[in-house]
Amino acid sequence: MLLKNKVVLITGSSSGIGRAIAHEALMEGASVFLHGLRAHLVTNAIEELSAEFGQERVSGLAGNIADPNFPQQLVKKCVAQFGSLHGLVNNAGISPRHNIDSASAEDFDHVMTINLRAPMLMIQAAMNSFRNLGYGSVVNIGSINAHCGQPDLLIYSTTKGGLQTLTRNLGDALGPEKIRVNQINVGWTLTENEHKLQLAEGNAENWLEKVSPLSAPSGTILRPEQVASHVIFWVSDKSAPVSGTVFEVEQYLSLIHI
């Protein structure tokens, strides 16, 4: 098992990709600390995962990751519950639609706070635990949009580009302490929220059957459990000593060098 006897904290893990990461981490032997904005979803996730893997291996806390004080509270609660923290997955994020004409200063600050400031503060909060252990592993969940992004994901794409720089900077800065920071840039993934978004944008219930081969060469888009497998590798010791790496979890070449 890749994460046997490890403790992993995953933000945004009450549903979607984060929930899949939590399940995979438990499958690989970890104890997992969940997080989500809505208390009832966190409670439901804890109950369901505890029924499968045991109450002693699953805990969590609901709260707003946009609150600059919350990351410290979240890590403190995790360490109090499990005694240590070996791995952090910064998965929580939002992807509202904005373009250059519609984006406001308030929109920019809000998305930046959740998608970029919060991951930095989460890593900062985890540093004491990592230093006590003498090592640690962080995986930031980025997006293929970090390289450019579609026109109506202006602010979101900008935050994910910033997250790449944060990852590479800390990968370099924390290497001597054996604290690794890596990132996976995730492509188009089928989650409940993505399905709801597609319907809200006027697409038919069977929109997935009509996805262009340019976006899904394999015939369909990514599934959360497929993304989770990559995350587990990068948070585990199996990927050591690599740090500061941004790994593309996508079906096609995203960058072409000329």
Q: What is the pLDDT of residue 9?
A: 98
Quick check: 156 pLDDT over 60? yes
- Residue range 227-232: mean pLDDT, rounded: 95
More confident position, 203 or 258: 203
The pTM (predicted TM-score) of the whole model is 0.91
> pLDDT for 237-250, tens place per residue?
999 999 999 999 88
For the ranges 120-134, 147-161, 219-233, the one whose mean pLDDT is highest: 120-134
3-state secondary structure the chain: CCCCCCEEEECCCCCHHHHHHHHHHHHCCCEEEEEECCHHHHHHHHHHHHHHHCHHHEEEEECCCCCCCHHHHHHHHHHHHHCCCCEEEECCCCCCCECCCCCCHHHHHHHHHHHHHHHHHHHHHHHHHHHHHCCEEEEEEEEHHHHCCCCCEHHHHHHHHHHHHHHHHHHHHCHHHCEEEEEEEECCECCHHHHHHHHHCCCCCCHHHHCCCCCCCCCCCECHHHHHHHHHHHHCHHHCCCCCCEEEECCCCCCCCC
